Amino acid sequence: MPMLGDENDRDIIKEEDTNAARIREERLKAYAEKKSKKPGPIAKSSVLLDCKPWDDETDMKAMENEIRKIEMDGLVWGAAKLMPLAYGIMKLSILCTVEDEKVSVDDLCEKIQEIEDYVQSVDVAAFNKI
């Protein structure tokens, strides 16, 4: 013989489980929305470019100055140094940090190569995600 209240107790427990599941789903949904609105870390890369001059008489300091004049949103120029290339010709190795979403390294290389008075070619010597 069932005791009084047994069926009612089961209904109450089932209702509590349903409410708890609904509340849990609402909270998970709210958390997912909040997390999706939060901006993630900005993807950046460190790029080492080798800029080669036309000949050994090219003014390398002027070449560096012209390259540093290139400005793009998300581009930060770093250190630069002259490295021996061949037959007395030096190349300019220049470091830059780029925001991956804002700066295309290919576009940057094209802009550098547009400095035709000084730059013969540009190579990406190193490309590292930060």
Q: What is the pLDDT of residues 13-28, one digit of tens each?
A: 666 677 778 888 888 8
Tokens 């870390």 label which residue?
Answer: 41
Mean pLDDT of the 108-120 span? 95
Residue 37's identity, in one-letter code, is: K
Model-level pTM greater than 0.75?
A: no
State the Rg of the chain over Cα: 31
How far apart (Å, rounded) are the C-alpha atoms in residues 60 and 18? 74
Q: State how far the Cα of 67 lies from the Cα of 37, in Å rounded to an integer.
A: 37
Helix or strand run (H / E) with residue 126: strand 119-129
Cα distance between residue 118 and residue 57, in whole Å: 10
For the record, the structure tokens of 121 come out as: 């070619």
Taking only the tens place, the pLDDT of each residue in 28-87 is: 888 887 777 767 688 899 999 999 999 999 999 999 999 999 999 999 999 999 999 988
